[in-house]
Structure 1
Amino acid sequence: MLKKKIFFIDLDGTLLDVGFGISASMSKKNEKAVVEASQKNIIVISTGRKYSKKVEEIAKKTQAKYVACLNGSYILNPINNQILKEEIIQNYLVKDIFKIAQKQKISFSTDNAKHLFGQGLQNQILAFITCFKSFQYQDFKTENAHKILIMSISKKKIVKTFYEIKKKYKGVVSLALVAKGRAIEITNKNATKGEVVKFIANLENFDLENTIHIGDSMNDASTKNIVGTLIALKSGSKNLKKIANKIGPKSKPAGVAKILRKESD
């Protein structure tokens, strides 16, 4: 059967509508709706999360054909875990961005380990909230990464850091303000959720008009003007809702299920 549409679905704050944070899970209603939609459409899990056993299980439960992790830093087939596309941040860039974070006295992490580098009580608090292990700046060892995460309790410091990195590395990295303005996600310039849409649509020989992205934060904003329809959850980022083609219901309860019932016919 020819598939009608490609649905790109975010996880945190979107498909995962039960619980909070790293322990959030998918409701049975959302799971059932995605499985039903997969019968006539292609499902892609498009997340800022690293590929893990949990993400793999979600992909299999929802019959997703593809999984894009770390905002598109790598795209894989969840059936055999074959990596179809991979983008990294070179170690010299990782080192430079780490120095900027250190200068601003804010916390720094990469996808290589659940380690958060910073100083003082703030770093310990942020590490506790995110289930990372707290380390001092001097413990950091530079290596290639797929994604950098910078965070702070101070929104002012995050915004200042965001624009400093954006100006210095324009056209080199992609940045997104997340966590209600208290964190920055940084990836290779070719690793965005918008690039995921283009890659999968080309792979499947699909017209972009027949693609839909569902998300809640500004790392979903890169799909604007690429995906056929960008749907922002009502409970999501105000800035994302400003640019979205449609505003969906709140993520809880089963917001994705409600969207799919409307859009997958």
Structure 2
Amino acid sequence: MKLIALDMDGTLLSSKHVIPEENLKAIYDAQDAGHIVMICSGRAKEHITTFLAESGLDCPVASSNGAVVSINNEIISEISMSREVVRNIATQLEQEHAPYKLYTNKGIFTTHNWSEKVKKEFDEAEFKHEKCTPEELIRFTEDIPNAITMTYVNDVEELLQDEEIVVHKFFVLTFDTNKQAHLRETMAHPELMVTSSLWNNVEIMDKNGHKGNGIKAVAKHFNIPIEDTIAMGDNYNDVGMLDVAGFSVVMENGEPDLKAKYDAVTLTNDENGVAHAIYKYVLEK
């Protein structure tokens, strides 16, 4: 039995943000052969499970970059940040004028002026990424059907008044490549995991809230040795699981330094790279 851990955006999903039929078939074939396939994504748990249900998939899930791990909708591992740390991060991000969301055990929260902050971030971006288009601005400021509903608060203190709330992750949005690098540098702290999952974000978790611990939790649950795990990803938030997996595969569309570092490179996410890797490295062996 193998454990196959798949990132979503840039890996399992095509550039159109859907799971190609070839990838779906490969996952079903792997499951039918007795292997465990898990999803390991920076997305919120609710978003992943809804997406999987619509695709007809039943898989263990490591959400918020591995901070929350659930199997059959039961949470088996949860890593959050202390209230003091959350306050400190929020204060620093406010000083940087950076739009951010908080991923919690009760959904996604942000401030009432989210859209205003995002539009300002877009207008003031000096070094806009090549993918930064007006459509991207619309995607982050307008209501999209079937998108996860955000809850709006005045500030972080209002959110933390709920004693049952725990924060798993900060999602920080930026359209400026230099600002992304600046935020990753200035937010770095020994007790935090600071990374990026796409060109337009910075993600901040507890130092243990990463995909490496997500894959470890699921492997332990199913009594699968870590050397019998395979991880597939494309970006820096995948490094945790790529580092600990027994065999690590990077997408052709992945970051160049990651492709040079790990065990294998598969086809792009628009060429069904996940299916190609599952058949080549799992089912044909």
Amino acid at match of 2:26: A
Preserved CA contact (<8 Å) 1:14 1:256: yes
The 1:100–1:239 alpha-carbon spacing in structure 2 relative to 1, beyond 3 Å, is farther
Tell me the equivalent position of 1:68.
62
Preserved CA contact (<8 Å) 2:242 2:249: no
Q: CA deviation at 1:106?
A: 1.8
5+ unaligned residues in a row in structure 2: which ranges? 123-133, 144-149, 161-165
Secondary structure, counterpart of 1:149 in structure 2: strand
Tell me the equivalent position of 2:31.
38
Is it true that 1:15 corresponds to 2:33 in the alignment?
Answer: no
- Give deviations 1:93-113, integer Å, cap 9, x for gaps: 122111211222222211243
Preserved CA contact (<8 Å) 1:38 1:63: no
Equivalent-residue separation in structure 1 for 2:250 and 2:87 (angstroms): 34
The 1:113–1:200 alpha-carbon spacing in structure 2 relative to 1, beyond 3 Å, is closer
Equivalent in 171, 178, 197 of residue 178 of structure 1: 197
**Equivalent pairs: percent with the same residue?**
21
5+ unaligned residues in a row in structure 1: which ranges? none
Q: CA deviation at 1:52?
A: 2.2
Equivalent in 134, 144, 160 of residue 182 of structure 2: 160
Tell me the equivalent position of 2:21.
28
Aligned pair count reads 249
Secondary structure, counterpart of 1:30 in structure 2: helix
Tell me the equivalent position of 2:44.
50
Q: CA deviation at 1:92?
A: 1.8
- Give deviations 1:220-251, integer Å, cap 9, x for gaps: 01124311111110012223223222111101
Secondary structure, counterpart of 1:13 in structure 2: helix
Is it true that 1:130 corresponds to 2:140 in the alignment?
Answer: yes
Q: CA deviation at 1:76?
A: 0.8
Amino acid at match of 1:105: H
Equivalent-residue separation in structure 1 for 2:48 and 2:183 (angstroms): 32
Is it true that 1:77 corresponds to 2:87 in the alignment?
Answer: no
Equivalent-residue separation in structure 1 for 2:226 and 2:96 (angstroms): 41
The 1:151–1:242 alpha-carbon spacing in structure 2 relative to 1, beyond 3 Å, is farther
Equivalent-residue separation in structure 2 for 1:191 and 1:25 (angstroms): 26
Equivalent-residue separation in structure 2 for 1:26 and 1:131 (angstroms): 25
Equivalent-residue separation in structure 1 for 2:118 and 2:13 (angstroms): 32
Is it true that 1:86 corresponds to 2:84 in the alignment?
Answer: no
Preserved CA contact (<8 Å) 1:100 1:161: no
Preserved CA contact (<8 Å) 1:87 1:191: yes
Tell me the equivalent position of 1:255.
273
Tell me the equivalent position of 1:119.
117
The 1:69–1:131 alpha-carbon spacing in structure 2 relative to 1, beyond 3 Å, is farther
The 1:160–1:212 alpha-carbon spacing in structure 2 relative to 1, beyond 3 Å, is same
The 1:30–1:77 alpha-carbon spacing in structure 2 relative to 1, beyond 3 Å, is same
Q: CA deviation at 1:208?
A: 1.4
Tell me the equivalent position of 1:101.
93
Q: CA deviation at 1:259?
A: 1.0
Secondary structure, counterpart of 1:95 in structure 2: helix
Secondary structure, counterpart of 1:12 in structure 2: helix
Q: CA deviation at 1:216?
A: 1.1
Equivalent-residue separation in structure 1 for 2:242 and 2:232 (angstroms): 11
Preserved CA contact (<8 Å) 1:34 1:257: yes
Equivalent-residue separation in structure 1 for 2:282 and 2:29 (angstroms): 9
Amino acid at match of 1:102: E
Q: CA deviation at 1:131?
A: 5.2
Equivalent-residue separation in structure 2 for 1:26 and 1:119 (angstroms): 32
Equivalent-residue separation in structure 2 for 1:240 and 1:55 (angstroms): 28
Deviates more, 1:41-50 or 1:194-203: 194-203
Amino acid at match of 1:176: T
Q: CA deviation at 1:48?
A: 0.8
Preserved CA contact (<8 Å) 2:48 2:61: no
RMSD: 2.6
